[in-house]
Chains A and B, each alone.
Chain A
Amino acid sequence: MSRRIIHDHNHDGIDRRGFLECMAWVGTGALCVLSGGVLKSYALSEAPQAAEALSGADFSFVQISDSHIGFNKAANPDVSATLQAAIDKINALPTRPSFVLHTGDITQLSKPEEFDTAAQILKNLKTDQIFYVPGEHDVLDQTGKLYRDRHGMNSQGDGWYSFNAKGAHFVGLVNVMNLKAGGLGYLGDEQLEWLEKDLAGVSNSTPIVAFAHIPLWSVYPEWGWGTDDSARALSYLKRFGSVTVLNGHIHQTMRKVEGNVTFHTAMSTAFPQAAPGTPNASPGPMAVPAGQLRDVLGVTSAQFARGQHALAVTDSTLSGASAAAMPMVSQTGGNR
């Protein structure tokens, strides 16, 4: 995947080809491997590479996102089945993930029965623990109480928290509350002050994984795909040698590297959304031809291994269709 960036118009480390390559990951889940402070990701469909990455890893975890339990429209009439398929995929990994991160939009409409159904299905995950952050669909009551009653036990404020795992520091952030008219995702002063304090005691060499629902980088502000005050959060993360930012919300995989920070968004387990800026499209559920849905849904895995530089992050689709089998890839064919 390594190659030179030829046309970096926006100085963001992404040229058109790179963008298309990123888009080729659409619909895969990802396996993240933290290896010596470096998070590496693999498509779950890249099983051999992922297995290799896992064998040298200190530990691994999986990210799932946007399960939208309760959604029942044309884009996916059975979101419970696709969430279960994602779980089956994770349970079949060669190495059992230490834990799973769910980056929000667990439910479609924040209904108690939707939270209950999601919890029932997610019980089938073979892992030690599931860590959550809310998506905007999980806080439709505008207070987030329903969400926090279930998943906010050890959290602060609207549901943010941190924890340490095997030498890495994880920060779960909430950027779907108190949104401002005309704005994007929002962290707010209280949470940012907490974050600054939380990180104060963490050494520069500790790998950091920050996760939140809405991207903490400007993916496509025209569709609300960014966070107003993420720059301040990222300023606190600058001094760390390895930072991985994991988000959901946009229902497709995208990746960007900016200095020591790797940004990664995961696929949904429920339905895809259009690529940013697609003409005549909006950031809502997108129906794909029958039989192709599981090519565009998936999970993300990450592996950590000591002595290496980044977390290995892998995306893989529910169908097992490799990224290479997807239409976007043909546009980058021969250049990879």
Chain B
Amino acid sequence: MKKVLLTAIALLFAAFPAYTALQAGGKPAAVGAKGEKVFTITIKDFMFSSSDLHVPVGSKVTWLNQDEEPHTVVEINRAFSSTALDTDEKFTYQFKRAGKYKFFCTLHPRMTGTITVEAR
């Protein structure tokens, strides 16, 4: 019985990070060269695939533009700022500090999203 419970707990923990990433609309994290988690937000039809993504501190987030229209990804306080991304171009930022980061496309400012960087 104890073993079953432990297994269940282990499964829960194993499943949880993937669940939060999916819940937030982001793709399940890949792992970068230095062990950091890598998330991808695609831009399609004037929308970010995730507008409310939670990631652990140290994670990298890549925005990939799949529209025929150029877009930018800019944090409202300019913590990060991409140049204009044309079709299939991407921009990556590594979040080294916990906090909430609200970003938008400066060309189509109705496109907004938030990244919540959680301390480990």
Contacts and interface: CB of A to CB of B under 8 A. Distances in A.
A137 B70 contact: yes
B106 A179 contact: yes
Interface stretch (A14-22, A34-42, A117-125, A180-188): A180-188
Contacts of A75: 68
A283 interface: yes
Contact of B45 (A108, A109, A182, A282): A282
A110 interface: yes
12 contacts: A73-B68, A73-B87, A75-B68, A109-B84, A110-B84, A180-B109, A181-B104, A181-B112, A182-B110, A183-B110, A282-B45, A284-B67
B110 A223 contact: yes
A109 B107 contact: no
Bin the interface of chain A by size.
20 to 34
Main secondary structure of the interface of B (DSSP, over half): loop
B27 to A, nearest CB: 21
Contacts of A224: 108-110
A136 interface: yes
Interface of B: 45-47, 67-70, 72, 76, 81, 83-84, 86-87, 102-104, 106-110, 112
A34 to B, nearest CB: 33
A180 B107 CA distance: 10
Contact of B69 (A110, A184, A285): A285
A142 interface: yes
Contacts of B103: 181
Given A109-B84, A110-B84, A283 B106 contact: no
A179 B76 contact: no
A264 B30 CA distance: 49
Nearest to A71: B68
A140 interface: yes
Contact of B109 (A74, A137, A184, A284): A184
A182 B68 contact: no
B94 to A, nearest CB: 22
Interface in A133-183: 136-137, 140, 142, 179-183
Contacts of B76: 181
Contacts of A183: 109-110
Interface string A282-302: 111100000000000000000
